[in-house]
Amino acid sequence: MCGIVGYVGATGGNDAIDVVLDGLSALEYRGYDSAGVAIPTPEMTVSKAAGELSALEETVSRDELAGESVGIGHTRWSTHGAPSDDNAHPHCDEAGRVAVVHNGIIENYQRLRDDLVEAGVAFRSETDTEVVPHLIGHYLDRGADPEEAFRLAVDHLEGSYAIAAVVEGSETVYAARQDSPLVVGLGDHGTYLASDVPAFVEHTDRVRYLEDGDIARLSADSAVVTDVEGRPVDRPTETVAWDAEDAEKSGYDHYMLKEIHEQPSSLRQCLRGRIDELEGTVDLPELEAIDHDGPIQFVACGTSYHAALFGAERLRTSGVDAHAFLASEYASDRVPVDEDTLVVGVTQSGETADTLRALREADRAGATTLAVTNTVASSAARECDHTLYIRAGPEIGVAATKTFASQQLALALLAFELGDEPTRGELEALRDIPGQVQTVLETTDARAVAETFVDADAYFFVGRGYHYPVALEGALKMKEITYRHAEGFAAGELKHGPLALVTERTPVFAVVTGDGETARKTIGNVKEVEARDAPVVAITDGTSDVARYADHVLEIPAVDDLGASVLANVQLQLVAYWVANLLGRSIDKPRNLAKSVTVE
| Contact pick of 45, 79, 204, 348 for ligand F6R (by CB under 6 A) | 348
> Which segments of 275-331 does DSSP mark as H helices, in order?
302-316
What residues have CB less than 8 Å from 79, skipping those under 6 apart? 1, 105, 128, 599
What part of residues 471-510 is at the interface with ligand F6R (CB under 6 A)?
A: 476, 480
Catalytic residue at 595? yes
Scored b (16 or more CB within 10 A) or e, 33-48 reads bbbbbbbbbeebbbbb
Rounded to an integer, what distance in angstroms lies between the CA atom of residue 60 and that of residue 417?
Answer: 53
Strand partners, 194: 5, 183
- Which CB sits closer to ligand F6R, 225 or 257? 257
Asked whether position 75 contacts ligand F6R by CB under 6 A, the answer is no
Between 78 and 522, whose beta carbon lies closer to ligand F6R?
78
Query: Does residue 399 interact with ligand F6R by CB under 6 A?
Result: yes
Query: Exactly one of 301, 377, 414, 539 binds ligand F6R (CB under 6 A); which one?
Result: 301
Residue from 247, 494, 526, 597 in contact with ligand F6R (CB under 6 A): 597
Segment lying near ligand F6R (by CB under 6 A), choices 77-85, 263-271, 296-304, 516-524: 296-304
* Cα-based angle 347, 351, 354 (whole degrees, multiple of 5): 75
Distance between CA atoms of 541 and 156, rounded to whole angstroms?
A: 60
Pick the closer one to ligand F6R by CB: 130 or 196: 196
C-beta closer to ligand F6R: residue 300 or 499: 300
Q: How far apart (Å, rounded) are the C-alpha atoms in residues 118 and 130?
A: 15
Q: Which is nearer to ligand F6R, 282 or 481 (CB)?
A: 481
* Total interface residues for ligand F6R by CB under 6 A: 15
Shortest Cβ 561–ligand F6R spacing (Å) = 23
Q: How far is the CB of 401 from ligand F6R (least distance, A)?
A: 8
- For residues 173 and 194, what is the distance between their CA atoms, to the nearest angstrom? 12
Check residue 352 for interaction with ligand F6R (CB under 6 A).
Answer: yes
Residues 304-333 that bind ligand F6R (CB under 6 A): 304
CA distance 223 to 218: 4
The distance of closest approach from Cβ of residue 510 to ligand F6R in the complex, given in angstroms and rounded to an integer, is: 22
Q: Contact region for ligand F6R (CB under 6 A) — 148-156, 342-350, 433-441, 506-514? A: 342-350
Instruction: Identify the three-state secondary structure at position 540.
Output: strand
Identify the residue among 191, 303, 379, 525 touching ligand F6R (CB under 6 A).
Answer: 303
Report in angstroms how near the CB of residue 577 gets to ligand F6R at its nearest: 12
**In sequence order, what DSSP letters do the residues of 151-200 get, joined into one string?**
HHHHHT--EEEEEEEEETT---EEEEEESS--EEEEETTEEEEESSGGGT
CB nearer to ligand F6R: give 78 or 352: 352
Nearest CB to ligand F6R, comparing residues 46 and 410 = 410
The CA distance from 574 to 258, in Å, is: 11
Taking the least distance from each CB to ligand F6R, the nearer of 329 and 451 is: 329
Region of residue 312 (phi > 0: left; psi between -120 and 50: alpha; otherwise: beta): alpha
Position 313, amino acid: E
From the list 343, 387, 386, the residue with the least C-alpha distance to 364 is 343
Our CB check for ligand F6R shows the closer of 426 and 480 to be 480
* 415 binds ligand F6R per the rule CB under 6 A: no
CB 170, CB 215: distance < 8 Å: no
Q: What angle do CA 18, 187, 48 make, to 5 degrees?
A: 30
Nearest CB to ligand F6R, comparing residues 295 and 302: 302
Among 45, 349, 369, 569, binds ligand F6R (CB under 6 A): 349
Cβ–Cβ under 8 Å, residues 405 and 569: yes
92 has catalytic annotation: no
Q: What is the dihedral of CA 269, 275, 276, 277, to 10 degrees?
A: -100
> Which residue in 347, 368, 406, 569 binds ligand F6R (CB under 6 A)?
347
Q: Return the number of other C-beta atoms located less than 10 Å from residue 188's C-beta.
A: 11
Question: Which stretch, 12-20, 202-210, 341-349, 504-512, contacts ligand F6R (CB under 6 A)?
Answer: 341-349
How many residues belong to the chain?
A: 600
Residue 582 CB, shortest distance to ligand F6R, in Å, is: 19
Asked if residues 350 and 374 have their Cβ atoms less than 8 Å apart, the reply is yes
Scored b (16 or more CB within 10 A) or e, 85-122 reads: ebbbbbbbbbeebbbbbbbbbbeebeebbeebeeeebe
* Positions in 138-197 near ligand F6R (CB under 6 A): none
Q: How far is the CB of 301 from ligand F6R (least distance, A)?
A: 4
- The SS3 of residue 466 is coil
Q: Smallest distance from the beta carbon of 562 to ligand F6R, in angstroms?
A: 20
Strands 322-326 and 98-106: unpaired
Supply the minimum distance, in Å, between the C-beta of residue 195 and ligand F6R. Answer: 13
State the binding string over 355-384 for ligand F6R (x if CB under 6 A, else -): x-----------------------------
Catalytic pick among 48, 477, 589, 595: 595
Nearest-CB residue for ligand F6R: 302
CA 521 – CA 525 distance, rounded (Å): 7
Other C-beta atoms lying within 10 Å of the C-beta of residue 253: 12
Q: Least distance (Å) from ligand F6R to the CB of residue 47?
A: 30
Out of 2, 92, 301, 384, the active site residue is: 2
Residue closer to ligand F6R, measured from CB, 17 or 299: 299
Q: Closest separation between CB of residue 596 and ligand F6R, Å?
A: 6
Candidates 6, 71, 302, 535; binder of ligand F6R (CB under 6 A) is 302
The footprint of ligand F6R (CB under 6 A) covers 301-304, 347-349, 352, 355, 399-400, 476, 480, 596-597
- Catalytic residue list: 2, 595
